[in-house]
Amino acid sequence: MTWTVGEAGAALKTVLEVANRFANSPTLQHLLENAILVSTDDTFATRILAWFSAPAKYKISTDFSRLDTASQAL
């Protein structure tokens, strides 16, 4: 996955780390929706959505099942 390196990769990893800290919090949904909404690049927003919609595919072990991936923003 070439998009996990460089500046975009570092930003995505930062979002993942912050999401891990809020994984059991109701704030998680709001945090990820805002990350998508304030993203200046559609590709970055799409990557956030992909990572958190299918965490097993991207080998993310944190349980993000409380996310509403059908939400309008996420």
User: What pLDDT is stored for residue 56 in this prediction?
Assistant: 73
59 touches 51 (CB < 8 A): no
Residue ranges in 1-74 assigned as alpha helix (H): 6-21, 27-37, 42-53
Q: Is the pLDDT of residue 58 over 70?
A: no
Q: Is the pLDDT of residue 54 over 60?
A: yes
∠61-30-2 over CA atoms, to 5°?
A: 50
pLDDT digits (tens, 9 = 90+) for 3-45: 566 888 888 889 988 888 888 888 888 888 999 999 988 888 9
User: In angstroms, rounded to a whole number, what is the distance separating the alpha carbons of residues 33 and 43?
Assistant: 15
User: What pLDDT is stored for residue 24 in this prediction?
Assistant: 81
**Whole-model pTM?**
0.71
User: In angstroms, rounded to a whole number, what is the distance separating the alpha carbons of residues 51 and 48?
Assistant: 5
CB neighbours of residue 13 within 10 Å: 13
